[in-house]
A = this chain, B = another copy of it.
Amino acid sequence: MTYCLAIRVNKGLVFASDSRTNAGVDYVATYSKMHRFTWPGERTVVLLSAGSLATSQSVLNAINSDLEDPEAPFNLRKGKHLYDVASYIGNLSQKEQQQHAPALEKSNASAEASFILGGQIAGKTCEIYMIYPQGNYISASDDTPYLQIGENKYGKPILDRIITPNTSLEDAARCAMVSLDSTVRSNISVGLPIELAIYTGDSIDEPWHNKYRAFSPMYKSMQKQWNEGLRQAFSGLPRFDWEKEE
């Protein structure tokens, strides 16, 4: 399993991902699921992946091959719109899945992978897309300014309460960390390190990026403060009638 998240606020974009992959519970490994491509002043693209590691690695390989090949009909730098890039990644993903599907079906395994794509092309707005395993895709809206792939349920309530288009980039990043942390606690197949990227809208430059491990001071401090804050919120909840009488 995996949990990846992208948030689009007025000031820019936030991306977060866990790093655990597993083939059953008896083979667990650590892989980055966040892939960043920036051509300063021209475009910046962040790709998050969930699902079959083989499929997502092959898609990444194809993306890099196309970037190296001047004859490639399309690559990350050629799309005029970010949805062109989403369509391109959906196609790569479908092609890769179809290649291995017959063999995988025999083993009752799946080649499916999902992606979140976000970024900005110079002169255009910031955008985020979720690309389904079937290759089609959707973008976020002002009413639902975030997209999730993988294990999305544990970390959703806090997003629904906090995130609006007016949320600051830093608050969106903190909310992403809390959302990831709640998921890591509840689902053993989602694990550290947590990667976080913050893209300042219209900078058309590298997003700020950090990797948080269990011992990272910021992560430890965030966990501690959140835990204490939740307990305080909990202790402030209203009493039942018979508690008031006492």
Contact = CB atoms under 8 A, between A and B. Distances in A.
A234 B178 contact: yes
A186 B153 contact: yes
Interface string A182-222: 10011000000000000000000000000000000010011
Given A154-B153, A157-B185, A186-B157, A234 B238 contact: no
A234 B182 contact: no
A161 interface: yes
Contacts of A171: 234
Interface string A224-243: 01111111111011111001
A178 B232 CA distance: 14
A230 B227 contact: no
State how many copies of this chain the complex holds.
Answer: 2
Nearest to A181: B157
Interface in A150-189: 153-154, 156-158, 160-162, 170-171, 173-175, 178, 182, 185-186
Contacts of A227: 161
A184 to B, nearest CB: 10
Contacts of A156: 154, 186
Majority secondary structure of chain A interface residues (helix, strand, loop or mixed): helix
B218 A175 contact: no
A170 B243 contact: yes
Contacts of A236: 225, 228-229
Contacts of A226: 233, 237
Nearest to A229: B233
Contact of A239 (B170, B175, B178, B186): B170
Interface in A105-148: none
Interface of A: 153-154, 156-158, 160-162, 170-171, 173-175, 178, 182, 185-186, 218, 221-222, 225-234, 236-240, 243
